[in-house]
Amino acid sequence: MKNITHIFFDLDHTLWDTDKNSEESLNELFHEMELEQLGIPSFKVFHHHYVKHNVRLWGLYAENQIGKDAVRLHRFVHTLQDFNVHDQSTALNMADKFVERTPFKLNLIKGAKEILNHLHGRYNLSIITNGFSESQYIKLKESGLEKYFDHVFISEEIGINKPDPAIFQYAANKSGAKEIRNCLMIGDTYQTDILGAISAGMQSFFLSSGEPSQYHEDVITIKSLDELIVLL
């Protein structure tokens, strides 16, 4: 990596362990709301259906095809409907409790604080996230990540979602980067984090949880945050 001055991290799935934190909250709510009595066989089955709908809806949100409220509510509406539970009030109640509870969970991606301690003071560090404002600030504060970042750029506050190159350009300008080519984006979603950053002119590291694949020639793929100690 050449002449890096500013590093931008995605938050969810990159630093904050969204999968583990979400599953903990869902498991608690599943049992508190006694969903088995509605004919849902187990939390494991419920969670599998939820993940499917959640991923699909977040993809639509990134493409500006649906809004924030649709993601928050419909992931529960559609999951319950998979089990012939057509109860809007239950879906709304679960959606509200999930958003209220989950940001206070503390699980981080392995190596998150170690790499931030390594980078802090050497680079200007910022967050670029498509997550919801009311959740992202709580996550950063409660998990102890807030202190590492000079700026937090949230798509709904800016009015531009990743992967639009404009949000990366905006973040680079606001963070004081002299050249966008001296900026580095680190994220776990190839289409949203990496291709958007490359289109804006940033360098990038793709944090991949899957098998190595053929990506853009300018992308460096890492399997864990620990690798950044050597690369940076």
Tell me, rounded to whole angstroms, the distance of Cα 200 from its chain centroid: 20
Give the model's confidence band at 140: pLDDT under 50 very low, under 70 low, under 90 confident, else very high.
very high
Closest by Cα among 129, 105, 117, 125 to 27? 105
CATH 1.10.150.240 placement within the chain: 18-104
List the CATH code of the domain at 18-104. Answer: 1.10.150.240
Closest by Cα among 119, 92, 106, 88 to 186? 119
Q: Which residue has the tokens 């990159």?
A: 14
Quick check: 25 and 191 in contact, CB under 8 A? no
pLDDT > 90 fraction of the chain, expressed in percent and rounded: 88
Q: What angle do CA 91, 92, 96 make, to 5 degrees?
A: 120
pLDDT computed for residue 143 by the predictor: 97
Give the model's confidence band at 72: pLDDT under 50 very low, under 70 low, under 90 confident, else very high.
very high
Give the model's confidence band at 63: pLDDT under 50 very low, under 70 low, under 90 confident, else very high.
confident
Quick check: 225 and 110 in contact, CB under 8 A? yes
CATH 3.40.50.1000 placement within the chain: 6-17+108-231
- With a cut of 60, say whether residue 211 has pLDDT above it: no
- With a cut of 90, say whether residue 62 has pLDDT above it: no
Give the whole-angstrom CA distance, residue 39 versus residue 65.
32
Q: Residue 82: what residue type?
A: D
Calculate mean pLDDT across residues 3-31: 97
Q: Which residue has the higher pLDDT, 61 or 106?
A: 106
Neighbour tally for 215: CB within 10 Å: 16
Quick check: 196 and 164 in contact, CB under 8 A? yes
Q: Which residue has the higher pLDDT, 107 or 211?
A: 107
pLDDT > 70 fraction of the chain, expressed in percent and rounded: 96
Quick check: 203 and 4 in contact, CB under 8 A? yes
Give the whole-angstrom CA distance, residue 123 versus residue 1.
13
Give the whole-angstrom CA distance, residue 132 versus residue 157.
9
Q: Which residue has the tokens 């202190």?
A: 147
Neighbour tally for 55: CB within 10 Å: 10
Annotation: CATH topology of 6-17+108-231: Rossmann fold (3.40.50)
pLDDT computed for residue 216 by the predictor: 63
- With a cut of 90, say whether residue 122 has pLDDT above it: yes
- With a cut of 60, say whether residue 199 has pLDDT above it: yes
Give the model's confidence band at 121: pLDDT under 50 very low, under 70 low, under 90 confident, else very high.
very high
